[in-house]
Amino acid sequence: MAGPNELLAAIADVGADRRRGGYSRHVFDDAERELREWFVEQAEARDLRVSTDRNANIWAWWGDPGDDAVVTGSHLDSVPGGGAFDGPLGVVSALSAVDILRDKGFRPRRPLAVLVFAEEEGGRFGVPCLGSRLLTGTIDADKAGALRDPSGVTFAEAMRSFGADPVRLGRDVEALRRIGQFVELHVEQGRGLVDLDRPVAVASSILAHGRWRFRFRGQGNHAGATLISDRHDPMLPASQLVLAARRAASGVAGGRATVGRLVPNPGGTNVIASTVDLWLDARSPDDRSTRSMVEDLSGVASEFASAEGCQVDVTEESYGGTVHFDAVFRDQLSGLLDDAPALSTGAGHDAGILAAEVPAAMLFVRNPTGISHAPEEHAEPDDCTAGARALARVLENLAG
């Protein structure tokens, strides 16, 4: 069977974004559907039993589904213009680990499954880890079903057009009971392993992080006919907030604040916008700092807005507190992997959502530049092979 590099090569053209570069693969769009179909084919070719749960997550079982299973997996969706490894590396490494174990005649003594989560990036419906939040019930099912993509389609409508029924969206106690332990392999989104000169690490923690929408309202008008003194241009306070976010994060130990998405309405070159939406992604090692960073920014946003005769409202769209992975489980995996180092991460993951419910752990694979969420994201073939082998060793130990 194929190793992780061959499996990644097999999907290298799916969802390639010619305009933005990288990949754009969003839940239930053509590319992600093609990846789902590909994964099901690959799983069935390995005699795994495939089913899609009520929250559109895909489960592939080695043997009968059962409780206290060893579960591994990740996601197939991407950010807009994302890299090839964030998500898919965890999925292809899981398939490759199954091959490695099968080839050595391994027979699991615990149920074992590969799990592919829906909408981890929130690239279409705006809430990250949507599939794992639904599975665990950490997002209200009705709220999730009503999430709209930029063209106004709701998650429930998108599910239906995909052929899935949203009526049972929500916490899935039976599925959760089946997860005895969860391990997610992921490309490292940082340079920790490069600096340590190691191919694989285990995860120690995830930054507290959330997303907030700031909607600035002004008065749409003509770019030429409107005197500066007569303007209420929401682009001004929005721009000031972008700069304020960088200043705020620079003042918090380990703080990060990003505005990667800013949408003027209507968005004409010769039009003063009537509203400007921007989304703040704020993170830091602890909840209190993250929350106070956002409170401060909400305060200055109001000042910026009123100085321009505009208004602003702030909506929290998602939040996840700091995750500390189970230290015993983490150290057990590290011990299996030549004392692999433990690294914290600034990136959120489905494993981080599951960690509140079941013993969860992560393996990271070296990323030479540390760049992620960009076309330059990369992991060397030898490190991808080492990652799949490490995952196989972990699964063999846990399910053996």
Query: Which residues bind to ligand HGY, rule: CB under 6 A?
Result: 120-121, 128, 347-348
Question: Which entry of ligand HGY, Mn ion, none binds 29, CB below 5 to 8 A by partner kind?
Answer: none
| CA–CA dist 44, 270 (Å, integer) | 55
| CA–CA dist 397, 374 (Å, integer) | 35
Specify the residue, 22 or 348, whose C-beta has the smaller distance to ligand HGY: 348
Amino acid at 336: L
Residue with tokens 């960690």: 355
Specify the residue, 87 or 370, whose C-beta has the smaller distance to Mn ion: 87
Question: Which entry of Mn ion, ligand HGY, none binds 361, CB below 5 to 8 A by partner kind?
Answer: none
Specify the residue, 53 or 120, whose C-beta has the smaller distance to ligand HGY: 120
Amino acid at 396: E
Question: Which entry of ligand HGY, Mn ion, none binds 348, CB below 5 to 8 A by partner kind?
Answer: ligand HGY
Closest-CB residue for Mn ion? 86
Specify the residue, 66 or 81, whose C-beta has the smaller distance to Mn ion: 81
Closest CA to 130 of 149, 151, 112: 149
Strand locations in the chain (E): 49-52, 58-62, 69-75, 112-117, 179-187, 200-206, 208-217, 221-222, 256-265, 271-272, 275-284, 311-320, 323-324, 342-345, 360-365
Least distance to ligand HGY, CB of residue 317, Å:
12
Terminal Cα-to-Cα distance of the chain (whole angstroms): 21
| CA–CA dist 57, 73 (Å, integer) | 11
- The contacts of residue 346 (CB under 8 Å, 6+ apart) are 189, 190, 206, 207, 209, 256, 283
Amino acid at 206: I
Specify the residue, 245 or 392, whose C-beta has the smaller distance to ligand HGY: 245
Question: Which entry of Mn ion, ligand HGY, none binds 128, CB below 5 to 8 A by partner kind?
Answer: ligand HGY
| CA–CA dist 189, 141 (Å, integer) | 30
- The contacts of residue 55 (CB under 8 Å, 6+ apart) are 118, 131, 134, 135, 169, 170, 172
Question: Which entry of ligand HGY, Mn ion, none binds 350, CB below 5 to 8 A by partner kind?
Answer: none
Specify the residue, 5 or 74, whose C-beta has the smaller distance to ligand HGY: 74
Question: Which entry of ligand HGY, Mn ion, none binds 131, CB below 5 to 8 A by partner kind?
Answer: none
Specify the residue, 361 or 395, whose C-beta has the smaller distance to ligand HGY: 361
Strand bridging mode 275-284 / 256-265? antiparallel
Question: Which entry of ligand HGY, Mn ion, none binds 388, CB below 5 to 8 A by partner kind?
Answer: none
| CA–CA dist 189, 271 (Å, integer) | 39
Specify the residue, 259 or 305, whose C-beta has the smaller distance to Mn ion: 259
Least distance to ligand HGY, CB of residue 348, Å:
4
Question: Which entry of Mn ion, ligand HGY, none binds 87, CB below 5 to 8 A by partner kind?
Answer: Mn ion
Q: Which residues contact Mn ion (rule: CB under 5 A)? A: 86-87
